[in-house]
């Protein structure tokens, strides 16, 4: 699985983008726009970006991380032009502060999967029955989720465990990823016997080759309605990519990676 960007990597990328912005409009016109993307898009978005370029779009600078952390960075002036959040609430928060062009659009709905690496004592099932048994008989020592404080998939994972009545038993054994992709890395590389991770990451060949997964019922957590929005200072390339992500071709790629692109149900 590709390395997860560290906080230093993100800050370095932001510094480079800021340096480009300081050069003035002429230089910015040739600078790839910085895109902040939820980490569950780690495999889908590079393919989307490549398809966009193949159809005449420009280059993009994509940074992956937790939606909550990106929201804070944008509030502090980070020079992102497009934000693809794993939770529409973060987009609404930015829009409420006047930092975006509008309220954005829903581009996908995510799902949660239980993942266990090869050789794990944990067997995967969507109802978490063996997870319950592994907690009772002592087989489970470490379990990975994203940090619920700022990662939407971590928050959904906590809701799943609470729904199943397992949160109190699992909590002392948790290994928290800074974002969903890091949680998937922990779950797939031996730092944990398993974890609750984005279905989109569990389906990716790099991760699927390392273990098995099972979808958890969507009703066990609040919907992961993923919203994207252009920031106030977004340029034409970011705007074109935003529009292209709403096309049938883009939706087909997202669907292949396990996302639902059907219209959101009224709640």
pLDDT above 60 (res 19): no
Alpha-carbon distance values, 31 to 17, 19, 79, 81, 187 (Å): 8, 10, 12, 12, 36
Residues 230 and 98 reside in one and the same domain = yes
With respect to residue 265, please indicate whether it lies within any of the assigned structural domains. Answer: no
Residues 87 and 129 reside in one and the same domain = no
What's the token pair of residue 198?
């984005």
With respect to residue 179, please indicate whether it lies within any of the assigned structural domains. Answer: yes
pLDDT above 70 (res 265): no
Residues 196 and 229 reside in one and the same domain = no
Please compute the mean of the pLDDT values over residues 93-105 and round it to a whole number: 97
Stated as kind and residue range, the H or E segment containing 42 is none
Task: List, in sequence order, the alpha helices (H) in the chain.
Answer: 7-22, 25-28, 44-54, 67-75, 88-96, 129-137, 152-163, 167-170, 180-188, 199-203, 205-208, 236-244, 248-256
Residues 70 and 166 reside in one and the same domain = no
Backbone torsions φ then ψ of 253, nearest 5 degrees? -65, -45
Residues 228 and 105 reside in one and the same domain = yes
**Local confidence band at 190 (pLDDT 50, 70, 90 cut-offs):** confident
Residues 35 and 100 reside in one and the same domain = yes
Structural domain tally of the chain? 2
High-pLDDT (> 70) share of the chain, %:
87
Task: Provide the pLDDT for residue 16.
Answer: 40
The DSSP-derived string for 154-204 is HHHHHHHHHHTT-HHHHGGGEEEESSHHHHHHHHHTTSSS-EEEEHHHHHS
Alpha-carbon distance values, 261 to 35, 220, 255 (Å): 20, 20, 7
Task: Provide the pLDDT for residue 31.
Answer: 87
What is the spatial distance between Cα 9 and Cα 2, in angstroms, rounded to a whole number?
A: 14
Residues 213 and 126 reside in one and the same domain = yes
**Local confidence band at 98 (pLDDT 50, 70, 90 cut-offs):** very high
For 12, other C-beta atoms within 10 Å of its C-beta total 13
Residues 101 and 119 reside in one and the same domain = no
Q: Tell me the per-residue pLDDT of 127-140, one tens digit each, with 9 for 90 and over.
A: 999 999 999 999 99
With respect to residue 247, please indicate whether it lies within any of the assigned structural domains. Answer: yes
Task: Provide the pLDDT for residue 263.
Answer: 67
What is residue 124's DSSP assignment?
Answer: P
Global confidence as pTM: 0.82
Residues 47 and 174 reside in one and the same domain = no
Task: Provide the pLDDT for residue 23.
Answer: 32
Task: Provide the pLDDT for residue 47.
Answer: 96
With respect to residue 262, please indicate whether it lies within any of the assigned structural domains. Answer: no
pLDDT above 70 (res 158): yes
Task: Provide the pLDDT for residue 6.
Answer: 37
* Nearest C-alpha neighbor of 241 from the set 6, 63, 49, 46: 49
Q: Which domain holds residue 149?
A: 111-220
2-11, 69-78, 141-150, 211-220: which range is least confident on average? 2-11
Bigger pLDDT: 211 vs 3: 211
Alpha-carbon distance values, 118 to 124, 156, 167, 175, 242 (Å): 11, 24, 24, 18, 38
Residues 134 and 41 reside in one and the same domain = no
Residues 51 and 117 reside in one and the same domain = no
18-32, 52-66, 112-126, 206-220: which range is least confident on average? 18-32
What per-residue string of b and e applies to 54-78 under the rule 16 or more CB within 10 Å gives b?
Answer: eeebbebbbbbbbbbbbbebbeeeb
Residues 165 and 129 reside in one and the same domain = yes
**Local confidence band at 220 (pLDDT 50, 70, 90 cut-offs):** very high
With respect to residue 51, please indicate whether it lies within any of the assigned structural domains. Answer: yes
* Nearest C-alpha neighbor of 184 from the set 197, 173, 174, 171: 197
With respect to residue 35, please indicate whether it lies within any of the assigned structural domains. Answer: yes
Backbone torsions φ then ψ of 260, nearest 5 degrees? -90, 135
Task: Provide the pLDDT for residue 30.
Answer: 56
With respect to residue 2, please indicate whether it lies within any of the assigned structural domains. Answer: no
pLDDT above 70 (res 29): no
Q: Which CATH number goes with the domain that contains 230?
A: 3.40.190.10
Q: Tell me the per-residue pLDDT of 232-258, one tens digit each, with 9 for 90 and over.
A: 999 999 999 999 999 999 999 999 999
With respect to residue 266, please indicate whether it lies within any of the assigned structural domains. Answer: no
* Half-sphere exposure of residue 80: CA atoms within 13 angstroms, side-chain side: 31
């Amino acid at each position: 699985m590709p390395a997860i960007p560290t906080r230093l990597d993100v800050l370095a990328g932001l510094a480079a983008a800021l340096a480009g912005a300081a050069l003035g409009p002429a230089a910015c016109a040739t600078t790839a726009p910085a895109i902040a993307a939820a980490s569950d898009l780690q495999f889908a978005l590079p393919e989307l970006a490549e398809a966009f370029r193949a159809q005449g779009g420009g280059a993009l600078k994509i940074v992956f991380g937790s939606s909550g952390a990106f929201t804070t960075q944008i509030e502090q002036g980070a020079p992102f032009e497009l934000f693809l959040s794993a939770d529409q609430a973060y987009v609404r928060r930015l829009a409420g502060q006047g930092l975006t062009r509008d309220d954005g659009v829903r581009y996908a709905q995510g799902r949660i999967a239980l993942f266990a690496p090869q050789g794990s004592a944990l067997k995967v099932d969507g109802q978490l029955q063996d997870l319950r048994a592994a907690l009772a008989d002592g087989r489970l020592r470490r379990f990975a989720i994203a940090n619920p404080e700022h990662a939407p998939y971590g928050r959904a994972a906590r809701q799943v465990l609470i729904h199943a009545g397992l949160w109190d038993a699992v909590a002392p054994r948790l290994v928290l990823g800074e974002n969903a992709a890091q949680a998937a890395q922990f779950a797939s590389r031996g730092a944990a016997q398993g974890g609750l991770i984005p279905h989109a990451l569990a389906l990716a060949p790099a991760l699927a080759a390392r273990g098995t997964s099972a979808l958890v019922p969507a009703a066990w957590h609040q919907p992961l309605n993923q919203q994207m929005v252009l920031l106030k200072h977004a340029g034409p390339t970011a705007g074109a990519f935003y529009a292209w992500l709403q096309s049938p071709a883009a939706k087909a790629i997202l669907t292949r990676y396990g996302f639902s692109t059907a219209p959101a149900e009224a709640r």
